Amino acid sequence: MASSAVKSNFYKWHRVLGLMALIPVIFWTLSGLSHPFMSNWFRPQIAKEVFKPLAQSKMKPSLSIQDVMDRNHITSIRNFSLINFNKGTFYQVLGKDSLYNYYSATDGVLLPHGDTDYAEYLARYFTQDSTSAIKSILLQTDFDSQYQPINHLLPVWKVSLNRPDGMDVYIETGQSRMGTFNNNTRKAFLWLFEQFHTWQFLADIGGDTFRNVVLLIIMSIMLLALASGLTVYGLMWKKFKSIKESRKANGTEEKRFIHRYHRQIGLIVSFVMFTFVISGAFHLAVKLHNNEPVKADYGQLIDRRQMDTSNLKLPIADSIIKHIGIVNFNGETFYQVVDDKKQVTYFDASKGKERTNADEEYARFLAGYYKPQASLGNAFKGRVKVDVIRQFDNEYGFINKRLPVERVGYPNGDNWYIETTTSKLATKVAGIDRAEGLSFIFLHKYFGMIWAGKDIRDIVTMLAALGVLVVSLFGLASFIKNK
């Protein structure tokens, strides 16, 4: 009798928990089914994805950065670079106000609206569209529903072209690169995914922490629903089997086939349900754990008096210089030069002498800046290892956008990825972050099937999500039939 009551209670709680999880499951599976269409099959195409700058020898600047600063009475800057586009060759100067101004490398004259002109040029370069009118060019300093945090790069210019496909291109002018691009179809998928998979509407109501807590509670309910369902089947397996055998022996018609399908398909997809729920819950828990304020980007201000050596007289061939900037750390100022092989070299801005291993030094300095002060005391007790990362991998994935970066590895296993050419933190990976990242890409996004190709992996992921949806709908149908 007691055993029967226990089984009845388990069954009752499974139904209650299943009903509570039903709407979230429908939201997540349907939006999950849309993801391969958004990221793979219906992803818009663009003519060029990478901008290749001219070598400095082909830009032919006649003025140095010092000449430009002196002619325009500029006493300090945050950074500069040399760029060339259809209006000529210019010094792209990041001023004290953190805005870019463009000065001719021939006569030093300021180009009005230079940053928007360059953003338009790059947008037309990436799309190879020289004829469509520009609908708008807006500076974007925050992420939103169409330019999401996964794109990482800020600030960017949102360049909207007046075309039937509604193409928007997001441009980071400081590095002459593209953040992302969206057409009307992708915008619709992004809205669907944001509202029904990441539940942005909850963040709009109560903020990110509120959203993550609510979603974690729902994930816990789903896990309990899954566990109770497996328990019910385990407790009542002999009963289900005897009913099936009795029906076959008597030749009677099955009236509870919906319940049977719910149980059978549920058993088949229980593992993928478990992987989705556990990886999703772990992802949310880590986001809550890492909910500390983000430290502001490293901001330098370099005085004109710290720049004695001309940027045009460095001991490196102009023909291999692809990018040049300036950095200040540990009380010293250096020209930072990227060559045609993406090697980063540093030259003392006072004497023009090359500094060996300076990119590693700068990466260490920036990691120390971004690392919480409370952890610095323990971080340097062992050896800190720094190495260059030139391609994405399982830990530093494609979503991080920035390459190459320096990986600063601490003795406790923490890795801090630094893009030295922008002085920005690309990402940090601590012990729990590493475990969460691997669980998410393998248990939630099925990266373990990447060997079969992206299309096969996406199809398997969709079938898994579809199986979860079918089980949930059969469970709802069986509940209605019982009523």
The CATH number assigned to the domain holding 159 equals 3.10.450
Sign for the CA dihedral angle at 329, 382, 428, 406 comes to positive
Residues 305 and 343 in one domain: yes
In 168-241, the DSSP E strands lie at 168-172, 177-182
Highest mean pLDDT, choosing among 100-114, 144-158, 187-201, 283-297: 100-114
Residues 222 and 288 in one domain: yes
Residue 11 covered by a domain = yes
CA distances from 408 to 27, 173, 370, 391, 436 (A): 40, 27, 12, 16, 20
Residues 65 and 134 in one domain: no
Separation between Cα atoms, residue 327 and residue 306, nearest integer Å: 11
Residues 201 and 287 in one domain: yes
In 126-260, the DSSP E strands lie at 134-140, 156-161, 168-172, 177-182
pLDDT at 398: 80
CA distances from 184 to 120, 165, 189, 190 (A): 20, 6, 9, 10
Q: Which of 307, 340, 355 is the last residue of a domain?
A: 355
Is the pLDDT at 304 greater than 80? The verdict is: yes
Residue 219 covered by a domain = yes
Question: What length does the chain have?
Answer: 483
HSE-up of residue 479 (Cα within 13 Å, Cβ side)? 17
Q: Which of 355, 376, 393 is the last residue of a domain?
A: 355
Residues 220 and 268 in one domain: yes
Q: Could you list the residue range(s) of the whole structural domain that residue 465 is in? A: 2-40+197-293+454-482
Residue 126 covered by a domain = yes
Residue 393, SS3 per DSSP:
coil
Residues 126 and 212 in one domain: no
Is the pLDDT at 166 greater than 90? The verdict is: yes
CA distances from 140 to 112, 144, 156, 239, 444 (A): 20, 9, 5, 62, 31
Whether the upstream peptide bond of residue 112 has omega within 30° of 0, thus cis, is: no
**255 φ, ψ to 5°?**
-110, -10
Find, among 305, 351, 307, the residue nearest to 325 by Cα: 307
In the chain, the number of structural domains is 3
Q: Which of 355, 390, 425 is the last residue of a domain?
A: 355
Is the pLDDT at 417 greater than 70? The verdict is: yes
Is the pLDDT at 377 greater than 50? The verdict is: no
Residues 159 and 138 in one domain: yes
Other CB atoms within 10 A of residue 282 CB: 20
Name the H helices within 317-453.
358-370, 376-379, 431-439
* pLDDT tens-digit series, residues 181-233: 999 999 988 888 888 888 888 988 998 889 999 999 998 988 888 877 777 66
Find, among 182, 447, 426, 266, the residue nearest to 194 by Cα: 182
Q: What is the pTM of this model?
A: 0.85
Residue 64 covered by a domain = yes
Residues 204 and 272 in one domain: yes
Residue 175 covered by a domain = yes
Residue 411 covered by a domain = no
Find, among 357, 411, 347, the residue nearest to 387 by Cα: 357
Helices 2-36 and 208-250 pack at an angle, to 10 degrees, of 120
* pLDDT tens-digit series, residues 241-251: 555 555 555 55
Residue 209 covered by a domain = yes
Residues 272 and 343 in one domain: no
To the nearest 10°, the Cα dihedral for 371, 375, 392, 145? -60
Share of the chain above pLDDT 70, in %: 87
Is the pLDDT at 402 greater than 70? The verdict is: yes
Residues 206 and 271 in one domain: yes
pLDDT band at 235 (very low <50, low <70, confident <90, very high): low
Residue 81 covered by a domain = yes
To the nearest 10°, the Cα dihedral for 220, 225, 230, 234? 120
